[in-house]
Amino acid sequence: MKKQIGVFGMGVMGQAIARNLARHHYKTSIYNKTTSKTINILKKYPENIEGFLNLHEFVESLEKPRKILLMVSSNAVDTVLEELIELLDENDLIIDGGNSYYLDTERRMEKSAKKKIRFMGMGISGGEEGALNGPSIMPSGDFQDYLEVKEILENISAKVDQVPCVTYIGEKGSGHFVKMVHNGMEYAQMQLISEIYSYLRVSYSMEEIQKIWDRFNMGKMEGYLVKITADILKHKEKDHFLLDLISDVAESKGTGKWTSIAGLDYDVAIPSIISAMQARTLTHKKRFAVTKEYDAKLYDTDIEDLEKAYIFSMMIIYEQGFDLMRTASEKNQWHINLSNIATIWLGGCILQSVLLKDVAESFKKHSSLLLDPSILHELILSQDGNHRILKRMIDKNIYAPVMFSTNAYYEGLTHESLGTSLIQAQRDYFGAHTYQRKDREGYFHTEWKK
Ligand code: 6PG
């Protein structure tokens, strides 16, 4: 009997997705370049899965039009596509479920179309656990292609209040763009959490921080990244907290960098995301001196301020990421729906959080979170607490690039004057670049040196 879907690539995510499909009774073929992986999986999970050691047989095992889900690293997609195209028939569908760069996806769509093979870019978030038990899924491309796999995707996705965490994102490479921005915000939120942790670490013992974190994990701060942090903080190896043994150097695979570049390319200010990316880069530079952190117990009220600072920063990070998605969607005519994106991120993915409910609601009515009076009210209420934390961070010598740049972004959007008139005057002074005026229309140049 022919199989309904094939999964190419048996890394951590590919295996988990294949098992998820099989658990939902989809007859699934699997293939991996290193055949031992395929054999191991079949030994462990034979139900509804058939493995192939030969690519041609894998392709032939699938019912037509074939559906092949690629779960390979982004730099392997071109080679795999090259091999597959030779074996596939017209109208077969390749779905790239990896973290591919959206412009590569668009190029691959064009290349496949020349051979009358359909190609769809699809973001998948949730790590191994999500891929196995229900990820958040961001498919894009031709709407008819999406309809063909809609039911499968809805079945294997996470559910929140019975609603599947999957929606058609939009045309072309928009699914991978949205997943990329998801990851950019993931970088910013992880950095934010590490800054709050660093702040607590100078005044509290690990056991005390664990208690504080358990409190964070309830109420408005609740979310996947906060939850896993609570587990991480408790993890011990013999007498040591594992966190104290892990090197202070951050790795990355590219999506945060691509998001940062997209912010620059689309002229959208996303300083929190760029700072988070650069913060990871900085960890690779040799540290030349060790600054002593000022050590002092905090007041009880400080924890409430930290909660406020977290909520404040999170909302501003969302604003930046969604601003980038909205701008790219308008420019490329993807027609993406921001509220639907926030909704499918309520479950399954790394960004899932209670705050995203407010974001999903807000984008039903507003094009920007800062245009929503209730969100603005929340920001104003939490701003004092955020300021107090930032001041103490300076006093304590805490490294917190995301929290400071997030605050600066908000300041930048809430001040009548940002000192920019001086920049314009300087540009005109040395380069006759002209400037605009408040009191008159048009562009002006002044002979400054007269
Ligand atoms: C997800 C994650 C996933 C992966 C990141 C890690 O949504 O499931 O974002 O895609 O964990 O790519 O990225 P870095 O290695 O760049 O931190």
Q: Domain span at residue 431? A: 422-450
Question: 3-state class of 51 per DSSP?
Answer: strand
What is the C-alpha separation between 258 and 264, in angstroms, rounded?
Answer: 10
Residue 292 has pLDDT above 80, yes or no: no
Predicted pLDDT at 111: 97
163/109 same-domain check: yes
Residues 127 and 196 in one domain: no
285 an active-site residue? no
C-alpha 125 to ligand 1 mean position (Å):
8
Question: Contact 423/435 with Cβ under 8 angstroms?
Answer: no
Last residue of a domain, one of 172, 191, 222: 172
The mean pLDDT value for 175-200 works out to: 98
Query: Based on the domain organization, do 40 and 155 belong to the same domain?
Result: yes
Residue 29 shares a structural domain with residue 119: yes
Distance from the CA of 374 to the center of ligand 1, in angstroms? 32
Distance between Cα 42 and ligand 1 center (Å): 27
Residue 36 DSSP one-character state: H
142 contacts: CB under 8 Å, gap ≥ 6: 118, 120, 171
Contact (CB, 8 A) for 295 and 355 = no
CATH number at residue 99: 3.40.50.720
Lowest mean pLDDT of 243-247, 280-284, 292-296, 314-318, name the range. 292-296
pLDDT at 298: 65
- Pair (267, 349) in one structural domain: yes
Are residues 201 and 278 both part of a single domain?
yes
CA angle, 40 as apex, 35 and 41 as ends, to 5°?
100
* CATH (domain of 431): 1.20.5.320
CATH number of the domain that 340 lies in?
1.10.1040.10
Say whether both 293 and 311 belong to one domain: yes
Lowest mean pLDDT among 216-220, 262-266, 273-277: 216-220
Q: Which of 172, 201, 218 is the last residue of a domain?
A: 172
Q: How confident is the model at residue 45 (pLDDT cuts 50, 70, 90)?
A: confident
- Compute the distance between CA of residue 139 and CA of residue 170 in angstroms, rounded to an integer: 8
Query: Strands 159-160, 163-164: parallel, antiparallel or unpaired by DSSP?
Result: antiparallel
Distance CA 444, CA 440 (A): 10
301: left (phi over 0), alpha (psi -120 to 50) or beta: alpha
pLDDT bracket for residue 450 (50, 70, 90): confident
Same domain, 403 and 426: no
Task: Provide the token pair at 13.
Answer: 């995510």
Which of 194, 253, 284 best tests ligand 1's pocket when mutated (most atoms within 8 Å of CB)?
A: 253
Residue 447 CA to ligand 1 centre (angstroms): 53
Separation CA 70–CA 282 (nearest Å): 33
Residues 134 and 240 in one domain: no
- Of 292 and 171, which is predicted with more confidence? 171
Q: Using CA atoms, how far apart are residues 195 and 306, in angstroms rounded to an integer?
A: 11
295 — pLDDT class (breaks 50, 70, 90)? low
pTM value > 0.85 = yes
By percentage, how much of the chain surpasses pLDDT 90? 92
Please state the atom number of ligand 1 nearest to the C-alpha of residue 13: 8
398 and 434 share one domain? no
Q: Which residues pair with 137 in a beta bridge?
A: 124, 166
What's the rounded mean pLDDT across residues 186-201? 97
Summarised one tens digit per residue, pLDDT across range 326-355 is 999 999 999 999 999 999 999 999 999 999
Verify whether residue 159 is a known catalytic residue.
no
Taking residues 262-275, report their average pLDDT.
Answer: 98
Rounded Cα–Cα distance for residues 45 and 34 (Å) = 18
Q: How many CB atoms lie within 10 A of CB 177?
A: 31
pLDDT tens-place string over residues 15-36: 999 999 999 999 999 999 999 9
Q: Sorting pLDDT into bands at 50, 70 and 90, what band is 46?
A: confident
Catalytic residue among 186, 195, 307, 319: 186
- Which residues, judged by CB distance below 6 Å to any ligand atom, belong to the binding site of ligand 1? 99, 125-127, 183, 186, 252-253, 255-256, 349-350
Q: Are residues 434 and 448 in the same domain?
A: yes
Q: Give the other-Cβ count within 10 Å of 24's Cβ.
A: 14
Q: Whose CA is nearest to atom 4 of ligand 1?
A: 127
Structure tokens at 234: 């408790």
| Domains identified in the chain, total number | 3
Q: Find, among 414, 419, 418, 448, the residue nearest to 431 by Cα.
A: 448
Task: Give the span between the Cα atoms of 446 and 450, in whole angstroms.
Answer: 9
Across the chain, how many H-helices and E-strands are there? 19, 13
- The DSSP code for 223 is B
What digits encode the pLDDT tens for the residues 204-252?
Answer: 999 999 999 999 999 899 999 999 999 999 999 999 999 999 999 999 9
340 plus 321 within the same structural domain: yes
